[in-house]
Amino acid sequence: MVQEDGSVVIRQLNFEILKGEFVYLVGKTGSGKSSILRTLYADLALANGEAEVAGYKLHKLKRDDIPQLRRRIGIIFQDFQLFADRTVAENLLFVMRATGWGSKAKMKERLSTVMMMVGLETVQQKMPHQLSGGEQQRVAIARALINEPHILFADEPTGNLDPTVSAEILDLFVRINGSGTAILMATHNHGFLKRHPARVLFCENGMVKDISRKVLLQRFGA
C-alpha cells in the first residue's frame, strides 16, 4: 500500500470485517491508518494484492465504478467537511442529489430520518458555523448514513473534539453499529477501547495485525 508520493506505508495487510462488526484501527501517527482507509474507499489506488469492499473488488475497480462504491459506504472525517455556505439540510440534500435521489418527498423523509438518528432534528435550517463541533460531526455522520451504507469508515472522527463530546460521538457510533452497520474507526483515543471494547487492528512497522485490547492498553498505558 503506497501513498501519493510513491512511498510504501503498509507492506503486509490481511483482514476481513464481517457484516455488522465494529473494529478499531490504531497506531502511531504516520503508521498508515489514513492510507488504509483512503484505499478502502478508493481515494488511493491499491498498489498490489486484492481487496473487496461492499461487493466491489478494489484491484479491478474502474474509475467509473468509484461513485457506485461510495454509495454503499459512508465516510466520516476529523474536520467534518461540511459546506460552510449551505444549511445543514442543503449539505445533506446535495449528497442525495449527487447519488441519484430523485423524489423530493423521499429525500425529505430520509433527511428527517438520519437527522433523528443523530439527535439533531431541529437544526436542519442552521448554518454549520452556528453549530458546535460535536453537532457538526453529528451532521457529518448523518450525511454518511444517507444511503444506508454497508460500512462506515471513520478517520479520527473525534480528533477535534473535547473528551466529553468525543465519548458522546463514540456512543452514537455504537448505536449505529447496533442497527447492523459495520464500522472501521481509526483513532488515537485508546480510552474508547475501555468504553466500548471491540476488535482492534494495530498498524506498526508496515504491518497490520489483530491485537487484543488488553495487550494494547498495557503497552500504551491507556
Do residues 106 and 124 both lie within one domain? yes
pLDDT at position 2 is 47
User: Is the domain of 153 the same as that of 221?
Assistant: yes
Range of the domain at 127: 82-148
| Residue 77 within any structural domain of the chain | no
Residue where a domain terminates, one of 100, 126, 148: 148
- Cβ contact 130:178 at 8 Å: no
Contact 158, 187 (CB under 8 A): yes
Residues 40 and 94 in one domain: no
Does 64 map to a domain? yes
Q: Are residues 133 and 163 in the same domain?
A: no
Given this model, what pLDDT does residue 85 score? 96
Domain count, the chain: 2
Q: Are residues 1 and 68 in the same domain?
A: yes
**b/e string for 85-118 if b means 16 or more Cβ within 10 A?**
eebbbebbbebbeeeebeeeeebeebbeebbebb
pLDDT tens digits in sequence order for the chain, 222 residues long: 445 555 556 777 889 999 999 999 999 888 889 999 999 999 998 878 899 999 999 999 999 999 999 999 999 999 999 999 999 999 999 999 998 898 999 999 999 999 999 999 999 999 999 999 999 999 999 999 999 999 999 999 999 899 999 999 999 999 999 999 999 999 999 899 999 999 999 998 888 988 766 666 666 555
Is there a single domain that holds both residue 29 and residue 42? yes
